Amino acid sequence: MTLDRITPRKTRVGLVSGGLGAYWPQFPSLLPQLEASARRVAERLSEMDCEIVDAGFVSDATEGAAAAEKLRVAGCDLIVGFLTTYLTSSMLAPVAQRSGAPVLLLNLQPTEAMDHESFDTGAWLAYCGACPLPEMANTFRRVGVEFRSVSGYLEDERAWTRIERWIKAAGVRAALRHGRHGLLGHLYPGMMDVSTDPTLVSGQLGGHVEILEVDDLRVRVEKVTDDETAARVALARDVFTVDDSVVDEDFAWGARVSVALDRLVEDFSLDSLAYYHRGLDGETHERVGAGFILGASLLTARGIPAVGEYELRTSLAMLIMDRLGAGGSFTELQALNFRDNVVEMGHDGPAHLGISARKPLLRGLGVYHGKRGWGVSVEFDVKPGPVTLCGLGQARDGTFTLIASEGTVVPGPLLRIGNTTSRVDFGCDPGEWTDAWSASGIAHHWALGTGHRVAELTAVADLLGLDLTVVRP
């Protein structure tokens, strides 16, 4: 049996290329050369798993306005303007103003350098995409459009790496703007730092927060059949190593809740889920609240982040990391190891199985520390190598901020208590890092993902209009 990942909506990228039409009768071979470069840019962009809406090649302000209308109607997530040679800012300003999407300008000349001995004016003009770049920057600033650009040459892999970051960032922005985020149950009592106004999410990031009740899940749990439960148990045995501590009855209950969670997500078209329910004395709602971990971990592995403790902002941070290809697991501080100079971090409950160092373990727990109920929990450590922490902070005025730090997961002894623990080396005294991280405005949960992602998160923050704080003590 397999765990099928969801297929997210493709990032829609609008492309418009252009140059000054006055050149075409003067230098007849120039336009065909520039159009060939534009086709190459479209080809490279299409290799980045995105949908391309090509508005064609524009030569004057009238054609620029027509391209602007085409891209506005297309509902793009990012507009790419390719400056093939000099063109006036009046040709691209309408595109930037009308689309409602962020704009990235490309200055990619044909090769690394001109052949100065053989070039005439027409040959040079194919290399002067840099010339209008300051003009565009100045104009964008004056008309109230954010400016960003990538300069290089057509086959410059350094430039294409930077371009791909912007494409990924646009995909993250789109996931948030089009996202539907479930918020089920109630706040864990006393956790003032994780409390989030859902309206602020829609206002600053876009998307919709769907308020759910535990009964929305309970009713679906009651409708799960024994055959569906058995099939989910079989799937879990394929995905996890099942520890001897797992009680069959608890395993079956977690599987039943998992099937119901899938239906909840499908029925409400959710892209993420944050939940918590306390319950009392073993009654049905307490059992439902305690049965999330297996199903939430399977959802997270499929690309639908699901987190406990009603942590809406962390579910969004996990969504950001997931869409960057970094995984993103629910994480908090656990302990500091001053002998090995590492910070031990992780969480009980749901986790992103795709970044585990080995086949994740299901462990039976008679007690969930600090919570009511009992059942099965997920245990693993993140695979060794570079990692990035990403959290969504909130300032006193309600403004969201992105907060990140890069480190390295290193092997070593770990707790075996049903938690997702990892040993992270930040290249400094763990106490100094912990003080700096805590002072950043982070809440006590965040997403832990693989790879060093600050460069990508810088682009994400830019497109979302958020400040990014990077902790590097």
- Write down the domain spans for the chain: 11-176, 179-470
d(CA 423, CA 115): 53
Cα three-residue angle 23-40-99, rounded to 5 degrees: 75
Give the per-residue pLDDT at 1. 54
Nearest to 473 by CA among 442, 439, 441, 428: 428
Which pLDDT value is given to residue 414? 84
Helices (H), 152-310: 157-177, 198-205, 214-222, 226-239, 248-267, 284-290, 292-301
The reported pLDDT for the residue numbered 347 is 85
- Amino acid of residue 24: W
Do 26 and 11 touch, CB atoms closer than 8 A? no
Res 417 pLDDT > 80: no
Mean model confidence pLDDT for the chain: 94
* pLDDT confidence of residue 471: 98
Compute the average pLDDT of residues 318-341. 96
What is the number of other CB atoms lying within 10 angstroms of the CB of residue 203? 11
Pairing of strands 342-346, 327-337: antiparallel
Write down the pLDDT at residue 368. 67
Could you please report the per-residue DSSP string of 294-312? HHHHHHHHTT--EESTT-H
- Domain range 11-176, CATH class: alpha beta
Average pLDDT of 61-81?
A: 97
Q: Which CATH architecture group holds 179-470?
A: Alpha-Beta Barrel (3.20)
Determine the pLDDT at residue 373. 64
| String of DSSP letters for 14-48 | EEEEE--TTHHHHSTTHHHHHHHHHHHHHHHHHTT
For the chain, give the percent of residues with pLDDT over 90. 87
H-helix or E-strand spanning residue 98:
helix 93-98
Q: Residue 372: is its pLDDT beyond 80?
A: no
The mean per-residue pLDDT over the stretch 321-348 comes to: 94
Rounded distance between C-alpha atoms, residue 314 and residue 328, angstroms: 10
- Among 399, 463, 473, CA closest to 437: 473
Average pLDDT over residues 441-450: 96
Q: Is the pLDDT of residue 148 over 90?
A: yes
Query: Confidence band (pLDDT; 50, 70, 90) for 269?
Result: very high
Residue 107 vs residues 17, 38, 88, 111, 153: alpha-carbon distances, Å = 11, 11, 14, 12, 7
What confidence tens digit (pLDDT) does each residue in 24-51 have?
999 999 999 999 999 999 999 999 989 9
Q: Which of 224, 206, 311, 315 is nearest to 264 (CA)?
A: 224
> What confidence tens digit (pLDDT) does each residue in 104-131 have?
999 999 999 999 999 999 999 999 999 9
CA 173/CA 347 separation, integer angstroms: 27
Q: In this structure, what DSSP letter does residue 60 have?
A: S
Q: What integer is the mean pLDDT of 276-300?
A: 91
pLDDT-derived band at 164, boundaries 50, 70, 90:
very high
Residue 379: the pLDDT is: 87
- Would you say residue 163 has pLDDT above 80? yes
The yes-or-no verdict on residue 370 having pLDDT over 80 is no
As a whole number of angstroms, the distance between CA 284 and CA 264 comes to: 17
